[in-house]
Structure 1
Amino acid sequence: MGWLRLRLGRLLDEERKADGLSSTGEAGGRMKARLLAAQIKRMKLSFSVALSFFSAVQFAPSVVGLPSANDHTWIAPGPDDQRSPCPGLNTLANHGYLPHNGQNFTIKDVMDAAQEAFNVHWDAILVAAKFGLLTRNDLGSEEYMSLGPLLIHALIEHDASISRQDVGDGTGDALHFNETLFSVLANSNPGVDYYNATSAGAVQYARLQDSKENNPYLLNTQREFVLRTRESGLYLSIFGDPLTGVAPKEFVNIFFREERLPIEEGWSKPTTLINSSTLMPIEKIIKRAANWSATSVCEPVVLTPGAVVNLGNATIPGIGVAADEA
C-alpha cells in the first residue's frame, strides 16, 4: 500500500505545479499547464485502477478451490470433501452440481443436478435417491443427506459392483474406484470402440460370478439386480445414445475412472430426456445378457444406520444387526 501513497503524493505535487503555470498567463506556461493536466489525468486513471484492484484483492472472500454458482468446471475432491460409492453422485459434486464438499443436500437437489448435468429425469433415480435419507437418524434426516454415509452397505451400495470391491467380511473397499475390477468393463465388447446393452449385461454376469466365488457374504437379491441394471442403463444412456444404449468407451471410461464429465473429449449432455421409458428397452437387453438368478432369498432392509430387518439371525459386515436386536 506504500507505493500507492507515494503515487498519490506525486499526483498532488503535479497538480500544484500545473496550477502555478496556468496562473502566469504566458502562452508557454499555459501550454505546459495543459500538457501537465493531460499527464495528471492519465495518472489519476492509473491510480484509480490500481486502487480498485487492490481493494478487490484485499477484501474479496477466500473461495479458492470452490466452484462459483455457475461454474461447473471439474475440481478434484479435497481431503475434507465427502464422496460415495456412486460415481454419478461423485461426478455431480466434482462439477459443482451438488455441493463440492458432498454434504447436506436434499433429494430435490439430486433431481435438479441430474437433469441439469445428465438430462436424467427424476423418475429414473427418485427411488434410489430416497435411500439416502436412511443414512441418518437425527432431526435433519427427514430432508438432508451427504455422500459419505451412502457407504452403508445395502442402501445404494451393493455387491458385484462394476467399479468397487464388495464389503465382504468388512474389509472390502466399497468406496474407492478399483481398476482391477473395472477392467472387466474396460475389456468388454472387444474389437469396437463402444459399449452396448449386451456387453453391459455380460459385464454384470462376470462381476457377479466373481462375487459368488470370493464373497461368502454376498447379497444378491432382485433389489441388487435392479440397482445394477439401472446403473448400467444410465451410464450407457448418459454417455451414449439414450435410444439405443450405444456409448463410446472413451466417455464411459473417463466417467468411472476420473468421475469427470468428458466434455474436453467431445461429450455433451444428451438432448433426449433420459427417463424410465427410455431406459426400459435398454434394461431388457441388459437383463437377458446378464442371465441373472438370485442367491439370496430376501434382502435385508436398512431402516436406520445399524438397524435392519429381514436379516434373521445373520450378521452381515457393513450392515449391522437385526432391528429387533438393536
Structure 2
Amino acid sequence: MGILQLFGKLANGAYVAAWDTSLTLANTLSSSRKPGQVTPAGCPGAGGQWPEYISPKEGDSRCSCPALNALANHGIIPRDGKNIKFTELGERIRETYNFGGTFCYFVPNHAAGLLNKNYATDTFDLAEIDLHNGIEHDASLLREDSALVPDQSKPHIPFIRELLDSATGKDANGKPILTIEDISRFSAKRRVEARETNPDFTLDRAHKTFGSTNASTLLVAFGGRVDDLETFLIEERFPEGWESRILSPMGMTFITFNITILKVERGIDEDKYIAERKAAAEANVEAS
C-alpha cells in the first residue's frame, strides 16, 4: 500500500469515526422510532408491506449473506443480484434494516476495496463478494465452509435448524428468542467443528470479529426472534409484517452495535465447548 493510499484509508477511518460519534449522540438526544414506523414511508417494506418475494432462478447471483439475498429476492435491489451499485446498496440497507449511515457506507465501501472497484462509480454481482476471507469466512453459522461447499449462495439448513433450536430466551409472549449466550455457544461449536473438518480452515482475529458482527445482526435487527429468523434464514425472505427491531432514529451506529458484537465474541469459549462435548461423550459411554 502506497503512502497516499495509507493516508486516504486513515483519513476515511477518522471521518467514519467522527460521523458515527455524531449519529450516536443524535440517537441519545432524540426519540426512538415507533414500532410500525421503522421503515421510512415510501420505501419498500413501509408498514410491513414488502414487495413480492420471488426465489432466485437459474443464472441469478446470490451470496453467503442472507440480508443481501433477501433484498434481491424481494426486488429491493436487482432481482438477479447483478450490476448493483455500491452506493445504492448502502441506501437499501439503511432503509430496510435501519443501520446507521456509517455502517451503510463503510460495508459497501469495504467490499468495493476488496474487489478493487470504485465505490462511487462501479457495480458488482452478489456472488463476487464471496471472495474467501474477504467478507465470506470459515465457521459461518449459516453455511458450510467454502473449501467444502464452494457455492455459498444457499444456506445450510441443518446449521440453521440447530442454531434456532438452541434458543434459550423467551419474549413477553413466551415465544423463543436467541440470546447473546446462545449465539456465542453455537459460534464456539462451529469454530471447533469447522477446524476439525476443513483441512484449509482459517479464521484470523478480524474474521472472528466479522463473524460475530454477522451473528449480532440476528440479535439487533431481528431481536433474536426465532419465528422471524426461521423464515429469514431458510427462505431469505422477510416475514409478512416484519420490520427491523432497531428503533434508533439515526439507525444502529458502530459504537452501539459494537457493544453487542463484543459481548458475543468475548462469550465464545471453544475450550468450554470441547470439554462439554467430551463430558457428554463419556456420559453416553457410561449409560450404554
TM-score range, shorter chain: 0.5 to 0.7
State the 1:269 CA deviation: 2.8
Q: Distance in 1 between matches of 2:87 and 2:120?
A: 14
Q: Deviations over 1:278-321 (max 9, x none)?
A: 2122112201211369xxxxxxxxxxxxxxxxxxxxxxxxxxxx
Q: Which runs of 5+ in 2 are unaligned?
A: 1-42, 45-49, 171-175, 272-288
For residue 226 of structure 1, what is the aligned residue in structure 2?
209
TM-score (norm 1): 0.60
Length, aligned pairs only: 216
For residue 244 of structure 2, what is the aligned residue in structure 1?
269
- Choose from 119, 138, 141 the match for 1:162: 141
Alignment of structure 1 residues 129-168 onto 2, 5 Å: 129-133=108-112, 143-168=122-147
Partner letter of residue 283 of structure 1?
I
State the 1:137 CA deviation: 5.9
Q: Distance in 2 between matches of 1:142 and 1:216?
A: 39
Partner letter of residue 82 of structure 2?
Q
State the 1:140 CA deviation: 9.8
Partner letter of residue 237 of structure 2?
R
Measured at CA, do residues 227 and 137 of structure 1 come closer, stay the same or move farther in structure 2, by a change above 3 Å? Answer: closer
Q: Distance in 2 between matches of 1:217 and 1:141?
A: 35
Is the CA contact 1:99–1:105 (under 8 Å) kept in the aligned structure 2?
Answer: yes
Measured at CA, do residues 289 and 125 of structure 1 come closer, stay the same or move farther in structure 2, by a change above 3 Å? Answer: farther
- Choose from 178, 200, 204 the match for 1:195: 178
Residues 1:206 and 2:185 are matched in the alignment: no
Is the CA contact 1:121–1:275 (under 8 Å) kept in the aligned structure 2?
Answer: yes
State the 1:103 CA deviation: 1.0
Is the CA contact 1:184–1:207 (under 8 Å) kept in the aligned structure 2?
Answer: no
For residue 313 of structure 1, what is the aligned residue in structure 2?
none
Cα RMSD over matched residues? 2.6
- Choose from 214, 227, 235 the match for 1:258: 235
State the 1:176 CA deviation: 1.4
State the 1:143 CA deviation: 1.8
Partner letter of residue 226 of structure 2?
K
Measured at CA, do residues 124 and 198 of structure 1 come closer, stay the same or move farther in structure 2, by a change above 3 Å? Answer: farther
Residues 1:177 and 2:155 are matched in the alignment: yes
Alignment of structure 1 residues 1-326 onto 2, 5 Å: 72-133=51-112, 143-168=122-147, 171-190=149-168, 192=170, 193-240=176-223, 247-262=224-239, 264=240, 266-270=241-245, 271-272=247-248, 273-291=251-269
State the 1:118 CA deviation: 0.9
For residue 60 of structure 1, what is the aligned residue in structure 2?
none
Q: Distance in 2 between matches of 1:179 and 1:288?
A: 26
Q: Which runs of 5+ in 1 are unaligned?
A: 1-68, 241-246, 294-326
Q: Distance in 1 between matches of 2:215 and 2:119?
A: 32
Q: Distance in 2 between matches of 1:160 and 1:248?
A: 22
Is the CA contact 1:163–1:181 (under 8 Å) kept in the aligned structure 2?
Answer: yes
Q: Distance in 2 between matches of 1:121 and 1:209?
A: 33
Partner letter of residue 209 of structure 2?
V
Measured at CA, do residues 280 and 137 of structure 1 come closer, stay the same or move farther in structure 2, by a change above 3 Å? Answer: closer
TM-score (norm 2): 0.67
State the 1:191 CA deviation: 6.8
Q: Distance in 2 between matches of 1:138 and 1:129?
A: 11
Is the CA contact 1:165–1:173 (under 8 Å) kept in the aligned structure 2?
Answer: no
- Fraction of identical pairs, as percent: 23
More contact order relative to length (CA 8 Å, sep ≥ 6): 2
Q: Which shifted more, 272-281 or 251-260?
A: 272-281
